[in-house]
Amino acid sequence: MTKKISLTATTIFFLATSVWAQISDAEQALVDTIDERREYALELLERTVNINSGSMNFDGVRQVGQVFMDEFKKLNMDVEWIDGSAFSRAGHVIARSGSSGPHILMIGHLDTVFEPESPFQRFKRVSDTEATGPGIIDMKGGNVIILEALNALRESDLLDQLTITVLLIGDEESSGRPFSLSRKHLIDAADAADIALGFEDGDGNPGTAVIARRGYTDWTLSVTGQPAHSSQIFRDDIGYGAVYETARILNAFRESLAGEPNLTFNPGLILGGTTVEHDTDNKRGKAFGKSNVIAEFTTVAGDLRTLSLEQLERAKETMRDIVSQSLTGTNASIEFSDGYPPLGPTSGNRQLLSLLDQISQDLGAGPVKAVDPARAGAADISFTAGRVDRALDGLGLMGDFGHTVEETADLTTLPSQTKRAAILLARLAATYRTN
C-alpha cells in the first residue's frame, strides 16, 4: 500500500529516540506507563474496531460506547450514556473527573461510516507496524489515545490536577437533527471548558495538528420552468426551461466564487425533468423527463464550506444574488441549512499548537505544524468555536485512506500520540498552577 513518507519517517525517528533529555522525571513516568500498556491499548483498539458501529447501527454504537464506559469507570470517572432517540441516533458517552485545574474537554466519536452491509468489518494486521479496519483511525484509535493518556495521568497521581470532560459522540459521521439536540451536550460541555482537544486523525501526519477547520452548510437549489414542446424552447413566452436556468446558476457560482481561499461549494446531486422527487433523508431522488419536453423542475443539493462566519455570509449573499437573476420563463430559489460551524485559527489555538510542538521536540519526535484548513474537513470540535479559549484537533491515531475499505493505521503512532497527549495535559495542569 502507498504510505506517506513523512509519516513513516517521523514515527521511526520517534521510536528510535531512546533519550528523553528534555522531559521531566514526572513526564518520563507518563511515557513509561504508556509503554507498559502498549499491548493492552492495541488489544482494546482491535476489540472496538471489530464491533460494527456504523452511525445507523444503533446497537453497535452502544456496544462500543459500553466498552469505553467500562474503561473510564476503571479510572474512577463518572460515566453517563446520553440517549439519542430525540435526534434519531444512538447517543453519546460522557465521562467526567476532577474539579480543579484547567477544564479540558476531550472529544472523540464512536461511530464510523461503515454500516453492517459494508464488506469492511474486521481489524487485520498487515505488518508489524500497520493494521487495517473500519474506523481504526476515524476514530477508534483516537478514543483509545484519550483513555490511555488519562490512565497514565492517573497512575502518576496527576489526573486530579485537571477537570476533565470526555465526550464520545455517537453520530459524528451522520449527524442527527436538529443540531440543537444532537450537539447540545457538546455545546454545553464547551461552554464549561477552558480548552478543547480533538482526537481525529487530521491529515494522517504526526508532524501536523489542526488549529482551524472549515464549517459546512447544506444548500438546496429549486428551479422551475415552463413546460412545452422542446421545439419551442427560447421563445419569449416560454423561456429557457429549468435545466438551462440551473446550468446558468451553477456556472455563475463557479465564476463568482471558485478560487477564493478556504471556500468550496459542491453540487452533489442534480435532479431535473418533467417530474422530480427528492428524498432528502436518504440523499437520493428520482426524475422523469423526455428529450422533446422542456424540463419543468430541477433540484440541486450541495454543500458550502468556509473558514469563518463572515466568509460564509458573503458567499450566501453572492449565491442568493445569482439565483435571483432568473432567465426568461424560469424561477429559482435557494435555501441554506447550517451544519457544522467553522473553527477559526485563533491565537489561543496557535498557543496550543506551539505547546504541542515543543512537547514533540522534547520527546525527540520533531516539530509539529498546522494543517492547511483546506485539507481538514468538518469535525465536532468546531462546535467549541468561540466557547473555549483554546482548541486543538488532529491528536489521534495516524494513518491513511480514511472512509475507504483500505483505512490503514500506523500503529507506531498509537503510543507516540498518547505520550504527546499525556504530556500536553500534564503541562497544561502545571501552567495553570504557576499562573
Last residue of one domain, picked from the residues 291, 315, 338: 338
Are 259 and 226 within one domain? yes
Q: What is the pLDDT of residue 2?
A: 30
Say if residue 171 is in the same domain as residue 115: yes
pTM above 0.85, yes or no: yes
Q: Partners of 271 in the beta sheet?
A: 299
Same domain, yes or no, for 91 and 119?
yes
Is the peptide bond preceding residue 178 cis, with omega within 30 degrees of 0? Answer: yes
Are 244 and 349 within one domain? no
Report pLDDT digits (tens) over 96-148. 999 999 999 999 999 999 999 999 999 999 999 999 999 999 999 999 999 99
Same domain flag for 75 and 176: yes
Which CATH number do you get for residue 221? Answer: 3.30.70.360
- What digits encode the pLDDT tens for the residues 244-257? 999 999 999 999 99
CB–CB of 429/102 below 8 Å? Answer: yes
Q: Are 77 and 146 in contact (CB under 8 A)?
A: no
The CATH number that applies at residue 192 is: 3.40.630.10
* Torsion, CA 371, CA 107, CA 151, CA 79, rounded to 10: 180
Least confident of 134-148, 206-220, 363-377: 363-377
Portion of the chain with pLDDT greater than 90, in percent: 91
Last residue of a domain, one of 320, 338, 356: 338
Residue 300 shares a structural domain with residue 351: no
**Residue 263 and residue 377 share a domain:** no
Q: 19 pLDDT exceeds 80?
A: no
* 252 and 292 housed in the same domain: yes
User: Are 20 and 66 in the same domain?
Assistant: yes
End of a domain among 313, 338, 363?
338
**Domain range holding 159?**
5-213+342-434
> Does residue 182 share a domain with residue 59?
yes
238 and 383 share a domain? no
Both 60 and 176 in one domain: the answer is yes
Domain count within the chain: 2
